[in-house]
Amino acid sequence: MPLPVPLVDLSFQHALITDEVHAGFDRVMAKGSFVLGPEVERFEAAFAAYCGVNHVLGVANGTDALELVLRAAHIGLGDEVILPANTFVATAEAVLRAGAVVKLVDCDEDFLIDPDAVRSIMSARTRAVIGVHLYGQMAPMERLRQAGGPDVFLVEDLAQAQGATRFGARAGSLGDAGGTSFYPGKNLGAYGDGGAVLTNSQGVADVVRALRNHGGINRYEHRFPGLNSRLDGLQGVVLSAKLARLDGWNQLRRDAARYYDELLQDSPEVVVPRVVDGNEHVYHLYVVRVPNRDRIVDHLTRMGISASVHYPVPVHLQPGFSDLGLPLGSFPLAERLSDEIMSLPIFPGITTEQQDRIVAALQNALDQHRQPTILRTAG
């Protein structure tokens, strides 16, 4: 049996940066600058320039980044924050941790938050909207801005879309602030947890800078009770090395996506992901829709191919979010998609030979699990 194909394989990336990373780790150890420090500042400046924003602040993870963005915008108790039902649960957790109220809306056929749904749920208490750039392409920020109006704080969750653009503007540069994650498997990933806040607002940047470090900038001076959410020097080294290569690696992801598109042309039951007008996709995930999804995923797993589902259960149907009181049927599209979607392996360095095997196995699975066209009658 051929070697298994993992969902994500980071070995290609590791090999290319290993010397640079070791040299950087030596610098950090020589200085003892393990938490924040010069390597983090160097990365923050480079990532800010890359994204076209004035400020980047490294924090401990993506969930904290989103929470800190909301807190810095003085969004909290009783304030409503709108976000899509089909996101990673962290987006909703960040809102709850800021003390605000989660207001979910449905998505569109491209898995992105639906601006019309946002408009229809807006209330006098709506303070923020979070556009989640799911799977690697940007939510329609200009339409979200219109839907929210001038008084709503527009947030980007770009955890899955570092380097993506919309009409030429980078993810993170179109909202009032953005939060991202450097979890190892993201397009720009650290060697552990990490995250960042991006903003053009000096005010937001100042508050996040203090909040991430126990509410103060100078040691033992605490402007307000904050938290400990800082990026490590060692991670700054890794992230700088990877950022320099991010565009090239995102291009490899796009090439792999084009190759999947091509191979899957002959499989009409498979709906391949669409690139929305104006977007440059960075394919954090390559998500297709298939019939009999669970059986297909099982079949691929038995063949040594790690397909996965992002995400099998929308936020409102998670047991931990039953307090929202949103039953099955609340978001028809998000719910239907959660039954049909499947993520195929994609990462810089995936080979066409691996993709050939994945698609052959997928076609085989579809043949075996094709639903009979004659419907069985009940009883």
Binding site for ligand PLP (CB under 6 A): 61-63, 87-88, 90-91, 132, 157, 159-160, 181, 183, 193, 195
Strand pairing of 286-289 and 341-344? antiparallel
129 DSSP β-pair partners: 82, 154
Identify the CA nearest to 362 among candidates 296, 309, 310, 312.
Answer: 296
Nearer to ligand PLP, 307 or 361 (CB): 307
CB of 220 to ligand PLP, least distance (A): 29
Burial class (CB in 10 A: 0-12, 13-18, 19+), 256: buried
CB of 262 to ligand PLP, least distance (A): 27
Nearer to ligand PLP, 91 or 126 (CB): 91
> Which residues have a catalytic role annotated?
186
Burial class (CB in 10 A: 0-12, 13-18, 19+), 200: middle
CB of 111 to ligand PLP, least distance (A): 11
Chain residue whose CB lies nearest ligand PLP: 62
Close Cβ partners of 250 (under 8 Å, ≥ 6 residues apart): 163, 164, 187, 282, 283
Nearer to ligand PLP, 24 or 62 (CB): 62
CB of 68 to ligand PLP, least distance (A): 12
287 DSSP β-pair partners: 343
Nearer to ligand PLP, 185 or 216 (CB): 185
Tokens of 357: 């095997």
Identify the CA nearest to 163 among candidates 257, 39, 47.
Answer: 47
Tokens of 4: 């298994």
